[in-house]
Structure formats: C-alpha cells, structure tokens
Amino acid sequence: MGREGIDVIDMRKPIPISEAIGRLMAHVPASRVETAALADSFGRVLAEPVVARDDMPPFHRAAYDGYAIRSEDTAPAGAVFRVVGRIGAGDVFAGELGPGEAVRIMTGAPLPSGADAVVMLEQAVQEADGRSFAVRKAFRAWENVSLRGEDVRAGETVVEPGTVVSPGVVALLAAFGYAEVRVARRPLVGVIATGSELVGRHEPLAPGKIRDSNGPMIAAQLARLGIPARSYGIVRDDPDLCLDRVRRALAETDCVITTGGASVGDFDWLPAICERLGARVLFNKVAMRPGSVTTAAVLDGKMLFGLSGNPSACYVGFEIFARPALLSMMGCRKPYPAYARAVLAGDYPKANPFTRFVRAVYRHDGHRPVVASAGFDKSNAVGSLARSNALMVLPGGTRGFRKGTEVDVLLPGAEEGEAEWRIREA
C-alpha cells in the first residue's frame, strides 16, 4: 500500500477500551422488528415485553397427590374423612365438598369447590373399609395447595424487552399462549478473511501457507449469539481486491467483519479501505493486548469491523467489540460478556503496559473460583483458544501479577451477558 497507508498508521493513537466501546455503542444502528413463531424464538432478542395473559396457576390446584378436604374439618384430633370422588389433572370435580368429605386428587388438579387443603397421600391413615382415612394433625387453610396467581399475576410484565429468549422464557411464552412473539431482526454479518498466506479448509497446505481459521471461528462466535454469517471467502493482500470484496459484502449484509491485514505494516488495509469507502472510523487502535489494532467504522447504518489476523486477537476483538455492538443493534439489554472474579492460579510475571486478555480456564477449585492461563499464550496461538472457557483480564501497568491475586474474568460462552462493561483497565 506504500507511503499513504503508513501515514495513516502513524496517526494511530491507542484509546482506552472503555472509550472505544463507548464510541461504538453510541453509533450502533437499530435493527428492525419481526415476528417469530414460538418454536423459533429461542435465542432471539425480545422486542416486546412478555405480559402474563392469565394468572399462573390459573386456578387453585393440588400441589401433591392426596385428598382434597376442608381444613376446618381437621380440628378434632384423628378426624376421619369419607372419600366421595376422584379427580385427575385436567378434570374438574362437579359437586361441592361437604363436611367430613374428601376427594382423591392428583397433582395439578383443581381443588373441588369447598375444599381448601390437600392431605398428602402419606399423611392419610387408611381405614379398614377402604373408603375412608384419618389424619393425625390439623391442616391449615391452603396447606399443600398452589394458589391461583401465586407464580405470576395476570397483567404482570414477566420478561422485559431486550431480553434474550432462554429456554425459561420459551416456557413462559408457551404458558401464556404466545404462538408468536415480536423479536429483533437478526443482522446478517459478512465475514472476509484477508491474507495472501491463507488457504481454505479444502485446500492442501503449501510452503508459506496456513489455513484460514479465523473465518470459521468468527462464524461460530456469531452463531453463539444466534446471528447468521455469510462467508465472503479469502482475499489475498491486494488493496483493490480487498476494497471490492468489502464493498460487495457491505451492500449485501448489515455488518462486515474482516480479519487480517490489521497489524502495523505495509499490508494494513482497513484504514485506507475505510477512507476510500467514506466510512466513519470510530477507532483504529485500542490500549489492549491482544487486539490493539482493531478498527471499527460505520457507513450508511452499517457496521464494519477490522479484526487482527492473529487468532487470539481476532477472538478477543470480536468478543469485546463486535459482540456488544451486534447484540445492542438488536436491542439486547445485556450485550457484554458475562463477568466474574477469580483468583489467579499461577504467577504472571510478564509486565505489560496495556490491559491484557489471556485465554484462560475458569473453574471452581472446591474453595473458590480460580482462573489460569489456557496455555501457550502468544497472540498467534490457536491451541489455547480451544482449551479456554474464559478470558482473564490483567490490567495494564508495569507490574506482573502474583498467584492468589483476584482478577476480572469474562465468560463469553455464558448464557446471559452483562448490562455494563465492568472491566477495570488500570
């Protein structure tokens, strides 16, 4: 790319991660709303609240198998009840329960009119006639009964818009008869791998070549968020080819993520591509390791991310920037990766000026949550990515970190994320 490109690079000033995120989140375009069938709602971001359409449960019902009775009849010690009927879940008892009467009832069946307690099967002492039983204790009103509306009241907002539909939310939607629900349209994301050294997964390796692992990895990171990816293949290091491919991808998708060609050197396309496209660059250097040469830009309501080709930098850049931007585009209220604290299981003597995200294993050692590096931790390492379930955060500074120090941890694979960016940088 010659002198021009290098001038742009020289101008790069690293900004704090939180500032980069702030700029990004202030420029996120809003995605449209569409309707999803209940069966397709899992993983979508709700665009409407889930409002209880009925009381839940919708009637007083037996919490256990046993006998429905009138609690007042249990006042005399050893009271005896006569079984006058039997109802299963889904049935309704026709009559009104009289004094000393009981109805054999199954879990989930509505209490007969007049009844206000359930004697659990194991609390009933059967009489010899086979049609009566005695109780040994007095029952309180509503004992062993699930009260109408005790779980959720009709009209109550049970889930806020902006929530990602979990299996539990699916259960609520189903319980309240939502056959379909309003959700955010998912952005389509175009993924482009750049680098003359890259070959696809079906091609043999040749001297000097490596396989593109970032493209498929980004597609999987998107899939984890329920976002579809479209691959725009591999482009060799040629500014015009890269520009063409980015332009085509931008025309056909809502967001384009490129990987490679992002390190400081001659083959650093993104800043120049953004300039030629007329895209507004939000940042192109961030005070973090790895992933410091991450670029984010916006153009005509679309987003463009230029992630480093280094696999770990690419992974981290996606989770720290692309993830919250894309989730927030869909109105998600918790777009950031889940946050935890844990103590270091080893020493990290390496001093570093910038906040470092280390691929790590987060677990509970029986006493407390601990976190350890997932191994070989150079930014071009792929192996440690596969072993890690977390990113541990070592704040920037000149000192190293000792075993036992408590640190921030990000858990990108957790079901629910955070509403705020909580990492401390210095």
Interface residues with Mg ion (CB under 5 A) are 195, 260-261, 309
Residue 384 touches which member of ligand AMP, Mg ion, none, C-beta under 5-8 Å by kind: none
Min CB(219)–ligand AMP separation in Å: 12
Min CB(372)–ligand AMP separation in Å: 25
Amino acid identity, residue 145? V
- Nearest CB to ligand AMP, comparing residues 177 and 208: 208
> What is the 3 state secondary structure string of 12-64?
CCCECHHHHHHHHHCCCCCCCEEEEEHHHCCCCEECCCEECCCCECCCCEECC
Min CB(177)–ligand AMP separation in Å: 47
- Nearest CB to Mg ion, comparing residues 112 and 260: 260
With CB atoms as reference, the residue minimizing the distance to Mg ion is 195
Min CB(284)–ligand AMP separation in Å: 13
Q: Which helix (H) or strand (E) holds 7?
A: helix 2-10
- Nearest CB to ligand AMP, comparing residues 89 and 386: 386
CA distances to 11, 52, 305, 357, 369 from 86, rounded to whole Å, are 82, 31, 66, 63, 52
- Nearest CB to ligand AMP, comparing residues 61 and 356: 356
Min CB(197)–Mg ion separation in Å: 7
Residue with tokens 């906040």: 355
Span between the terminal Cα atoms of the chain, in Å? 35
- The counts of H helices and E strands in the chain are 9, 26
Q: What is d(CA 229, CA 234) in angstroms, rounded to the nearest whole number? A: 15
Residue 180 touches which member of ligand AMP, Mg ion, none, C-beta under 5-8 Å by kind: none
Residue 311 touches which member of Mg ion, ligand AMP, none, C-beta under 5-8 Å by kind: ligand AMP
Amino acid identity, residue 414? A
Q: What is d(CA 329, CA 100) in angstroms, rounded to the nearest whole number? A: 63
Binding site for ligand AMP (CB under 6 A): 193, 195, 197-198, 210, 212-215, 259-263, 308-311, 380
- Nearest CB to Mg ion, comparing residues 8 and 154: 8
With CB atoms as reference, the residue minimizing the distance to ligand AMP is 309
Min CB(374)–ligand AMP separation in Å: 18
- Nearest CB to ligand AMP, comparing residues 193 and 342: 193
Q: What is d(CA 382, CA 287) in angstroms, rounded to the nearest whole number? A: 22
Cis-peptide, bond into residue 290, ω within 30° of zero: yes
Q: What is d(CA 5, CA 129) in angstroms, rounded to the nearest whole number? A: 97
DSSP-based three-state secondary structure for 318: helix
- Nearest CB to ligand AMP, comparing residues 231 and 263: 263
Min CB(392)–ligand AMP separation in Å: 22
